[in-house]
Structure 1
Amino acid sequence: MISPEHSYTLHLHAATRHSNGRTPRMISSPTSSSSPMAAAATALLVLPLAAILAAVAGAGAVNDDVLALVVFKSGVSDPTGRLAPWSEDVDRACAWPSISCDARTGRVDALELPAAELSGRLPRSALLRLDALLSLALPGNNLSGTIPDALPPRVRALDLSANSLSGYLPAVLASCGSLVSLNLSRNRLSGPVPDGIWSLPSLRSLDLSGNELSGSVPGGFPRSSSLRVLDLSRNLLEGEIPADVGEAGLLKSLDIGDNLFTGGLPESLRGLSGLSSLGAGGNALAGELPTWIGEMAALERLDLSGNRFVGAIPDGISGCKNLVEVDLSRNALTGELPWWVFDLALQRVSLAGNALSGWVKVPGANASVLQELDLSGNAFSGAIPPELPVSIGQMTLLEVMDVSRNQLSGGIPLEIGGAVALRKLLTRRNSLNGVIPPQIGNCRSLIALDLSENKLTGSIPVTIGNLISLQMVDLSQNKLNGTLPVELSKLASLRVFNVSHNMLSGSLPVSHFFDTIPDSFISDNAGLCSSQRDNSCSGVMPKPIVFNPNISSDPLPEVSATVPSSRHHKKIILSISTLIAIVGGAVIIIGVITITVLNRRVRTVASHSAVPAALSDDYGSESPDNEGNSGKLVMFGRGSPDFSAGGHALLNKDCELGRGGFGTLYKAVLRDGQPVAIKKLTVSSLVKSEDDFKRQVKLLGKVRHHNVVTLRGFYWTSSLQLLIYDFVPGGNLYQHLHECSGESSLSWTERFGMIIGVARALEHLHRLGIIHYNLKSSNVLLDSNGEPRVGDYGLVKLLPMLDRYVLSSKIQSALGYMAPEFTCRTVNVTEKCDVYGFGVLVLEILTGRRPVQYLEDDVVVLCDVVRAALEEGRVEDCMDPRLSGEFSMEEALLITKLGLFCTSQVPSHRPDMGEIVSMLEMARSSQSTPVDELV
C-alpha cells in the first residue's frame, strides 16, 4: 500500500516529466529516511496534505501548457524561427516570446503571433489542451485548412484573420458562450453564416469580411445582444438584409458592403441611435433613400455607394449632425446637390457617378473643414457661381476636389489659390474656358492637376513651377498656346506631364524628365521641339502624294489645292510669265492624259502593265480587264513608292510575313532601302465603294503615334486592295508571350511597357474616332527598341458590307478578346469593345496564358480563371512563372484588377482608355506611392 506521502512524491515526480519521458531533475521523497522520527520531523516541514495536492495539480497543469505549445510548434512551419525559444526543457512557458500567463495561476492565457509567417494547419489537440487560454491571435500568417471544430473552452478573443483558412464556419462558434471578439476576416471561408451566432451572450465584435461566405444572413438578432461591431463585407451573401438587424440596439458599426444584397435598407435600422458607421456599398440595393436616415443622430460615416438607389437625395439626412463622411457615388440619384453637403461639418463627400444636375451650391461656413469633395461624373452645368471661388479659397483644409466629367463652363476661379492644402484638383472633361489662373501656383500642396479636355486658352502660367510636390499634370486636349515655362524643369517629383493636343510651341524644358518624356505626352503640338531629342518636333502631316504606277520615271506629286499653312503668314505672288508657264504646262498635261486614255481603250493584252511590275507574282491570276482600270499607288508623305529592282518582288510568297482575318502580309523594300509591310486584303469582294474605301484609308493615314504602326499608303482597284505600312522588325507580342521561354521571355518591366504602350495607342485612336475592332496579341508588334506598335486598326470600316456575325467569325477570329455585345444586333459597337479586348490582353500579358485554352473535355477562359483567383486571394498563382518574382505583387494585383475591370460584361462599367492610361502612368511612376494617392 502506498502512503499519502509516497503518493505525493510519485505525482510530483511524474508532473516534472515531459513528452520525451526524461526527468530533468529528481525530487526528494519525504520517506527517504527509514527512521520514524526522521519521517515525523520531515512531516513538520511540509505543507498540509490538501495544500500539497493542490500544488501538485497546479504543477501538472503548467506542464500541460508546455506540452500543448510544443505540440503546436511541431504542427506548423516556422521559417523565421519565431518559435525557436519554445523548448520542452522548462517547467513553465510564461517566459517564452508571444506567450503571457495569468499572474495568479501561472497558466498560459494568451498566445499572440501576428505576421509571424507561420504556415500549416491549426493543431486541434494543442488548442484543447490550452484550457485556460483567453486570447488566441494569429493574424497575418499563412495558416491553412479548416477552423478546428473545438476551441479552448474559455477563449474570449479569437483572431485568425488574414490567413488561408478554408471550409465552412464550424457550428461550434455559435456555442462559444465566452466569445467577446471573433475576427476571421480575409480568409477563404465559404458556406453560410452559422445560425444562432447573434445569440452569443458576450459577443461584442464579429468580423467575417473578405471571405466567400454565401447564402442569406440569418436573422434572430436579440434585443439583449451585446454586439457592437458587425462586419460581413466583401463576401457573396445575398437576399435581403435581415429585417431585425436593428434589434441589436448597441450596434455602433455595421458593414455589409460588397455583397449581393437586394431590396432596401430595413427600417429597423432607424432605431440604432448609437450607430456611428453604416456601410452597405457595392450591393444591389434599390429604391429611394429613406428619409429616416436622418434619425440616426450618432451616424458619422455613411456609405451606400455602388447600388441602385434612385430619386433625390433626401434633405432629411441633414439630421445626422455628426456626419463626417458620406459616399453615395455610383447610384442613379437625380435632382440637385443637397444643401446640407456644405452645411454640415463634413470632411469627405463623394456623389460621383450619379445623374445630379443644376448648379453647384455655394459652400456654407461649415464647409471650411471639408477635405475631399468628389462630384465627378454627373450632369452639373452652367458657369461656376461667382460666390463659389471665395468659398473655395476659404476651404483651407480641402485636399481633393474632383468635378470631372460634368458640363461646367466658365473660368477657373482666381481664388483657387487660397486652397493651400489642395492635393488634387481634377476638372477633366468639362467646358471650362479662359486661362489657367497664375494663382494656382499658391497651391503648394498639389500633387495632381488634371484640367484636360476643356476649352482653356492662353499659356501655361510660370507659377506652376512653384508646385514642387507635383507628380501628375494633365492639360491635354485644350487650346493652350505659347511655350512651356522653363520653371517646369524644377519639378523634381514630376512623373506625368501631358500637354498633348494643344497649340504649344518652342523647346521643352531641360531636365531628365523632359529629356525622356513619352511622345504621347507632347503629341499634336506642331511647334514643340527638344534639342535633347534630336531636334524632333511633332509636325503637321504632309499632304498625300499620289503616284501613277504606270509611269516608269520618277513620279511627280500632284499640285495640292489647299492654301499653305497659315503659320508662315506668307503671300505667294506669281508673275505673269509664271502664270503663262503654268497654263501651258497644264495644257500639255491634259493632252498627255487624253492620249493615254485613248491608248488604254485599245489595249487588250497589254493591260497587265497597269499594275507595277513588282506586283507580278500574285497579280497574274487577276482579271486583266479589272486590273487595268484606274489602279493607283497612293503614298502619304514624301519619298518614292518604287520598290527596289533587286529586292524580292512585292507579294512574293517567299516574303510572306503572316496571315490574318483581314488578309496576308508581305515584306517589300522601297527604292531608298526602306522596308515596308504590304497587306493584301483577302476580303476584297466585300469592298463595294472606292470612295468610302479611300476616305477611310486617308483617315487611317493621318494617324501618327509612337505606339501605332504608321499607314504609309495604299493601292486600289475594284478587285485588289493593298495597304502599305511601316515594317516593324521585332515580331509580335503573341510570339514573345507564347513561343519564347526562359531567359528570352519578356521581363516584368517589358510587359508593363507593353500594357501602357497599347493603352496609349488605343487612347490616341479613340480620340480620332477610330475603333480598332480586332485587338489581340498578334496585332501588337515590337519595334527594334522593344516598344509596342499596334497594327490592323480600323480596318473593319473598310468593309461596310460585313455584319457583326461575319466579323465575329472572320475578323475577330481570336476567341476570348471579343466583347460580349459584339454579337448582339441591337447594341452599338463602341470604343468599349476595344477596352474589353485590352483587358483580356492585359491578363494575357500578366499570366502568359492564351485567352482561351481548349482541353480534352473543357474550355478554359482566362478572364474567368483570373477573376476566380482574385476572389480567392491567390492572384500570385496566375502570374507567369517565367517572371520568377521580379515584380511587386501589389503592383501586379493593381494591374490584374484593372484588366478585370476592363472586361466587365456591361460596357458602361468599363473605363475609357484615357482613364486607363492615366492610371497606368501613375502606377508605373509611383513604386512607393499607391495609385489612389495620385488620382
Structure 2
Amino acid sequence: MIFKLFLLLLLAPAAVHCLDTVFNDDVLGLIVFKAGLQDPLGKLISWNEEDDTPCNWFGIKCNPKTNRVSEIVLDGFSLSGHIDRGLLRLQFLQILSLANNNFTGSINSALAHLTSLQVLDLSDNSLSGSIPEQLFLQCGSIRVISFARNNLTGQIPQSLASCFSLEILNFSSNHLSGKLPSGLWYLRGIQSLDFSNNLLEGQIPSGIQSLYDLRLVNLQKNRFSGRVPEDIGGCLFLKSIDFSDNILSGGLPESMQMLSSCSYLNLRGNSLMGEVPRWVGELKNLEILDLSANNFSGQVPSSIGNLQLLKKFNVSMNNFTGNLPESMADCKNLLSIDASHNHLNGYLPSNVGELRNLLLLNLSRNHLVGSVPGSIGELKSVYVLDFSDNQLNGSVPVEIGGAVSLKELWLEKNLLTGEIPISIVKCSLLTSLMVSHNNLTGTIPAALANLSNLQNVDLSFNKLTGSLPKELTNLSHLLSFNISHNHLNGELPAGGFFNTISPFSISHNPSLCGAVVNRSCPSVHPKPIVLNPNSSDTNANSPSHKHHHEIILSISSIIAIGAASFILLGVVAVSILNIRARSSQARSAALALSAGEDFNCSPKTNPDYGKLVMFSGDAEFVFGAQALLNKDCELGRGGFGVVYRTALRDGCLVAIKKLTVTSLIKSQEDFESEVKKLGQIRHHNLVALEGYYWTTSLQLLIYEHVQNGSLYKHLHDRTSDDCLSWQQRFKIVLGMAKGLAYLHQNDIIHYNLKSTNVLIDSSGTPKVGDYGLARLLPMLDRCILSSKIQSALGYMAPEFACKTVTITEKCDVYGFGILVLEVVTGKRPVEYMEDDVIVLCDMVRAALDDGTVEQCVDERLRSNFRVEEAVPVMKLGLICASQVPSNRPDMNEVVNILEMIQSPCEAEEGLE
C-alpha cells in the first residue's frame, strides 16, 4: 500500500486529484510522511493506511466540525528522518510540533504552503542549513515559531517581518550569524524573542520600544556590540531581559527605570561601565539582578535596599569600591549575594544576619577590613560563606556554629588570629573548611572528626601547634587535608586518608614525624623494673647472695651486650640495603625519564626541560618523577599506558596516564593540538583532562582524580558488602549515555569503552574516561586498535573484524549496549565456566525470546528493582549491540529513550 501511495504522489496533479476521491488527503499525507521516518519506539504503529480517517491516530487531532487534521504533536518520540513534503497535503493543519526528536536535513521551504499554520515547533532536533527566506512569505496566521537547539546556520530571514500575528519567536542555540533584521520591531504583537546562543553580531537596532507587548527578550551568548538600546524602557511590560555574554559597552540607559514590571535583568559578561544609577532601586519587581563581569565602578547604590523581592544579586568581577550598603538587610528574600572580585574596601555588613533566607554570600577577593561579624551565626540557611582574600582581622567568631546548614567556609588569605572555634562542629554538613594563609594559633580541635562530611580541609600557612588528633582518621570522605607551614608536632595519624596523604600537604612542620614525612618518631621505652633486694629475702646481705647477684648481673650484661650488637648489625645491614635500593631507584628514574624529565627542574639549568601545561592555572608535581615510579601509586594499566595517582603542589590529587606507545605518538605540535582539543571537552559525565607533560621520550596526560573507583570494581568486586541499587545503576547507564552523546557531538569516537574505563565519583555519578586517545596515535591501524585498545573481550563491535567497513560512532554504541547489559545483570561480557563459555549478549537475547528476561537482572538486587525500567533497558542494550551498525541508534536517541523509560519519581530523585 505504501509503495502505491509513493507512486501516486509521483503522478501528475490530475492523477493526484483523482486519488482524493479514494483516499482522504490527510491519510495520504501522513502515511507518506511516516514512510520516510524511523520510529524506534513504535509510537506511530496506529497510523494505518487502510483507515478512512487519521483522527484516532496517536499524536493526531482533528477539527470535530470538518473531521480534518488540525494538530500534529509528536514531541519526544525519538523519530528520525526528514520532514517530508507529505505534510503539505494537510491544508487545515494549525499546529505542527515535532520537538525533541532526531530529525535531520534542512527546513523545507514548502511548509510555507501550510497557510493555516499557527504553531511551528521544530526545536531540539538536528536540523541544519539555513532558514529559507520563502518560509515566511505567507505567515500571516502563525503565532509561534521555535527552531531552538538545532544546527541551523546562515542569517535570520528578513521575511519574518511579514508574520504580523507572531507572538513567540525562538531561534536559540543554533549557529545563526549576521545582524538582527530591523524589521523585527514591526511585529507589534510579539511577546517573546529568544536568539540566545548564536553567532549574531553588530548593534542591537533601535526601535524596540514599538514592541508594546514584549515580555521576554534573550540575546545572551552572541557577539552584539554597541550600547544597550536607549529606547528599551518603552517596552513597559518587559519582565525578562538577558543580554549577557556579549560585547556591549557604555552605561545603563535612563529609559530602563521605566521597566517597573521587570523581574529578571542579566547583563553579565559585557564591557558596560560607569556607576550603577540610583534609579535601579525603582525596579521594584526585580528578583534577579546580575551585573557581573563588567567594568562598573563607584559604590553599590543604597537604593538596592528598596528591592524587596530581590533573590539573586551578583555584581562580582567589576570595579566597585566602598561598602556593601547596610540597606541590603531590607531585601529579606535574598538567597544569593556575590560581590567578589571587586575593590570593596569597607567592612563586612554587621547586620548580615537579618538575611535569614540567604544561601550564598561571596565577598572574596576584595580589600575588606575589620572582623567577621558574629551575626553570620544567624544565617541558618546559608551553605556557602566566602570571605577569602581580603584583609579581615580578629578571630573566627564562635557564633559560626549557628550557621547549621553551612557546607563551605572560605576564610583563607586574611589576617585572622586566635583559635579554630570548637563551635564549628555544630556545622554538621560542612564539606570544605578553608582557612589557610592566616595567623591562627592553638591546636587542631579533635572535635573536627565529628564533621563526617568533610572533604576538603586547608589549614596551611598558619601558626597551629600541638599534635594532629588521631580521631581525624575517621573522616571517610576526605579528599584533601593540608596542614603545611605550621608548627605541628608528634606522629602523623595512621589510617584512612592519612595513609595516602600528599607529603606536600604536611610539609614545613619540623616536629611532625612518621613514614610520610620520612622522619622517624622518637622511641618511648618503658622504665626498667627495679627489684628491692631487701623486700623479702632475709639472707640478702649474705656473701653467697651477693655472689649470686653478681653472677646474674654478669649474665644479664652479656645478654644485653649481645642483643645490642645483633641489633646494631641489623641496622647497618638494612641501611646498606636502603642505600643500594635508593641508588637503584635513582638509576631507574634516570633511565626511564632521561635527562630533562624531572618535573621540578629549572628550564634555565636543563636544556631538555619537559613542558608541563595545565589548562587551568599553574601547577607542579610534588616529588617530580619519583611519584610516578612508586608502585604504590599505581591505579591501573591499559592499552595506552599506566595510570598513577599523584599530587600537585597545591595539594590537589590528579590521575596521570603515562603513555607507553611513544613510538606511535605524533609530533609535539600535533600532539599538543589534539590534547588541547581534548582539554576543552567538559561534561559532568566525562573525566576531565586537566593538562599534559611532554618530552620527546615521555608523554603524560593529567586527568581529574575520580576517587571512588571503576564501574568494574563496583559490579564485580564480590568482597565488598556494597551493591549498586537499581536507582544507582540507572543513573550510571543514563550518565554514560549522556557522556558518549557529548563526545559524538564533538566528533570524538571513544574506541575503548568498557567498565574499567568508567569511573564513579563520590556522588555515584559515572564519568567516562580514556576517550579520544586514538586521535593522538595516527599510526594505529585497525589491527592495533583491535588488539591493544579493544583488549577487553566482548565490547568490540563486529565491524572491527572487517577492513572494508568504516569505523564510526556506532562502534561506541555497540560497546555501550554491552555495558548496559553488564550493569543490569552484574555479569561480565564473557564469562568462562568449568565446561562452557557464556556470552552475555546471547544469554540476555535468549532469555528475552523465552520470556524470562527478568531473571537476568543481578540476583543481588533480588526484587528491589523496577521491572518496568529494567526490561526496557535490557532491550535497549540489545538494540545498541546489534550486529548491523545501521540498526544501532545514535547516542542522542539513546539518551531520549532512557529518559522516557525512567519513572517520574526516579527522575525527580535524580534532580535533587
Which bracket does the TM-score occupy, shorter chain normalised? Answer: 0.5 to 0.7
Match of 1:460 in 2: 420
Partners of 2:375 and 2:282 lie apart in 1 by 32
Asked if 1:447 corresponds to 2:410, the answer is no
- Match for residue 32 of structure 2? 71
Q: Of the candidates 616, 623, 644, which is equivalent to residue 580 of structure 2?
A: 644
Number of the residue aligned with 2:241:
278
Does 2:200 align with 1:265?
no
Contact 2:412 2:437 in 1 (8 A): yes
Q: Provide the aligned C-alpha RMSD in A.
A: 5.2
How much has 1:880 moved relative to structure 2? 3.5
- Structure 2 Cα separation of the partners of residues 305 and 895 of structure 1: 35
- 1:709 is displaced (CA, Å) by 4.3
The Cα shift of 1:207 comes to 0.7
Q: Say if 1:656 and 1:664, in contact at 8 Å, map to a contact too.
A: no
2:319 corresponds to? 355
AA of the residue aligned to 1:878:
I
Matched, 1:202 2:202: no
Q: Are the counterparts in 1 of residues 172 and 195 from structure 2 also a CA contact under 8 Å?
A: yes
Instruction: Please give the secondary structure, in 2, of the residue aligned with 1:186.
Output: coil
Q: Could you tell me the TM-score, scaled by structure 1's length?
A: 0.58
Residues 305-326 of structure 1: CA deviation (Å, up to 9, x unaligned): 1111111112232332222211
Partner of 1:373: 337
Distance 1:272 1:73 in 2: 44
Match of 2:209 among 229, 235, 246: 246
CA 650–258 in structure 1, closer or farther in 2 if over 3 Å, else same: closer
The structure with the largest alpha-carbon Rg is: 1
- Letter of the 2:201 partner, please give it: E
Q: Distance in 1 between matches of 2:152 and 2:498?
A: 60
Q: List per-residue Cα deviations over 1:163-218 (Å, max 9, x = no partner).
A: 11111011133222221011111111111000031331110010111111001111
Counterpart contact for 1:481–1:505, Cα < 8 Å: no
> Which one is further off, 517-526 or 407-416?
517-526
Equivalent pairs counted in the alignment come to 631
1:463, CA displacement in angstroms?
3.4
- Inter-partner Cα distance in structure 1 for 2:582 and 2:324: 70
5 Å-filtered alignment, 1:39-50, equals none
Q: Distance in 2 between matches of 1:232 and 1:468?
A: 45
Pairing 1:149–2:113 present: no
Q: How many angstroms apart in 1 are the aligned matches of 2:768 and 2:142?
A: 35
When residues 292 and 102 of structure 1 are mapped into structure 2, their CA distance, relative to the original with a 3 A threshold, is same
Corresponding residue of 2:364: 404
- The C-alpha deviation readout for 1:837-865, integer Å capped at 9, x for no partner, is 9957999986899999xxxxxxxxxxxxx
Instruction: Give the partner amino acid of 1:656.
Output: L
Where does 1:112-123 land on structure 2 (aligned, <5 Å)? 112-123=73-84
**Are the structure 2 counterparts of residues 64 and 484 from structure 1 closer, same or farther at C-alpha, using a change threshold of 3 Å?**
farther
> In the aligned structure 1, how far is the partner of 2:121 from the partner of 2:677?
42
Pick which of 499-508 and 197-206 moved more. Answer: 499-508
Of residues 31, 35, 48, the one that matches 1:87 is 48
**Where does residue 382 of structure 1 map in the other structure?**
346
Contact 2:454 2:475 (C-alpha < 8 Å) held by counterparts: no
Instruction: Tell me, in whole angstroms, the C-alpha distance in 1 between the residues paired with 2:261 and 2:688.
Output: 46
In structure 2, the residue matched to 1:342 is 305
Give the match for residue 169 of structure 1: 131
Give the letter for the 1:728 counterpart. Answer: L
CA–CA separation in structure 2 for the residues paired with 1:216 and 1:871: 32
User: C-alpha distance in 2, partners of 1:513/1:159?
Assistant: 55
Q: Find the aligned partners of 2:242 and 2:366 in 1 and give their Cα distance.
A: 27
Alignment partners' CA distance in 2, 1:287 and 1:199: 33
The aligned counterpart of 1:420 is 380
Preserved contact between residue 472 and residue 497 of structure 1 (Cα < 8 Å): yes
Aligned to 1:558: none
Distance 1:509 1:727, change over 3 A: closer
Distance 1:268 1:685, change over 3 A: closer
Equivalent residue for 2:87, pick from 122, 127, 131: 127
CA drift at 1:223: 4.9
Secondary structure of the 2:332 match is helix
Cα deviation, residue 363, structure 1: 2.1
| C-alpha contact 2:679 2:689 (8 A) present in aligned 1 | no
Does the aligned pair in 2 maintain the 1:731–1:781 contact within 8 Å? Answer: no
Equivalent pair of 1:423/1:448 in contact (CA under 8 Å): yes
Contact persistence 2:213–2:235 (CA under 8 A): yes
Asked if residue 438 in structure 1 is aligned to residue 398 in structure 2, the reply is yes
- State the alpha-carbon separation in 2 of the partners of residues 709 and 872 from structure 1: 34
Give the 5 Å matches for 1:491-506. Answer: 491=451, 493-502=453-462, 503=464, 505-506=466-467
CA contact (8 A) 1:848 1:880 kept: no
Matches within 5 A, 1:584-733: 644=580, 656-659=591-594, 663=595, 708-710=621-623, 728-729=629-630
Q: Report how far residue 366 of structure 1 moved.
A: 3.4
Equivalences for residues 882-897 of structure 1 within 5 A: 882-883=752-753, 886=758
CA contact (8 A) 2:454 2:477 kept: no
1:103 and 2:56 are equivalent in the alignment: no
Q: Which segments of 5 or more consecutive residues in structure 2 lack a partner in the other structure?
A: 7-16, 512-520, 522-573, 610-617, 661-666, 695-738, 772-905
Deviations 1:755-794 (A, max 9, x none): xx6xx6153599xxxxxxxx9x9xx5769xx9xxxxxxxx
Say if 1:643 and 1:838 are closer, same or farther in 2 by CA, change over 3 A.
Answer: farther
TM-superposed CA distance for 1:275, in Å, is 1.4
Task: Write the deviation string for residues 27-71 of structure 1: whole angstroms up to 9, x where unpaired.
Answer: xxxxxxxxxxxxxxxxxxxxxxxxxxxxx9999698332333333
Name the SS of the counterpart of 1:357 in structure 2.
strand
1:331 aligns with 2:294: yes
Shift of 1:482: 4.3
What CA distance in whole angstroms lies between the structure 1 residues aligned with 2:46 and 2:388?
Answer: 59
Structure 2 match to 1:514: 475
In structure 1, the residue matched to 2:748 is 878
Please list the CA deviations of residues 95-147 of structure 1 after superposition, one character each: whole Å capped at 9, or x if unmatched: 33322222222222222222222222222x22212222211222222221111
Aligned partners of 1:70, 1:512: CA distance in 2, in Å?
68
- Cα distance in 2 for residues equivalent to 1:423 and 1:641: 53
1: CA distance, partners of 2:250 / 2:440: 45
Partners of 1:145 and 1:354 in 2: how far apart?
A: 44
Give the superposition deviation at 1:379. 0.7
Output the CA distance in 1 between the equivalents of 2:254 and 2:31.
58
Residue 195 (structure 2) aligns with: 232
Contact 1:192–1:214, Cα closer than 8 Å, also in 2: yes
- The 1:278–1:60 alpha-carbon spacing in structure 2 relative to 1, beyond 3 Å, is farther
Contact 1:469 1:493 in 2 (8 A): yes
Could you tell me which runs of 5 or more consecutive residues in structure 1 were left unpaired when the two chains were aligned.
Answer: 1-16, 23-55, 545-564, 566-637, 666-676, 688-692, 694-704, 712-723, 767-774, 787-812, 820-834, 853-868, 897-927
- Assess if the C-alpha contact under 8 Å between 1:326 and 1:350 holds in 2: yes
Structure-2 residue corresponding to 1:552: none
The aligned counterpart of 2:260 is 297
The residue aligned with 2:434 is: 474
TM-score, normalised on structure 2?
0.59
Give the letter for the 1:272 counterpart: C
Does the Cα contact within 8 Å between 1:301 and 1:323 map onto a contact in 2? yes
Confirm whether residue 137 of structure 1 aligns to residue 97 of structure 2.
yes
Cα pair 2:75 2:98 within 8 Å, conserved: yes
Using the alignment, how far apart are the partners of 2:273 and 2:447 within structure 1? Answer: 48
Looking at structure 2, the residues matched to 872 and 533 of structure 1 have their Cα atoms a distance apart, in angstroms, of 36
Give the direction of change, closer, same or farther, for the CA distance of 1:81–1:448 in structure 2 (3 Å limit). farther
- Single out whichever of 494-503 and 394-403 deviates more from structure 2: 494-503
Cα gap change, 1:181 to 1:65, in 2 (>3 Å): same
- Correspondence 1:160 to 2:122: yes
Q: Does 1:763 align with 2:650?
A: yes
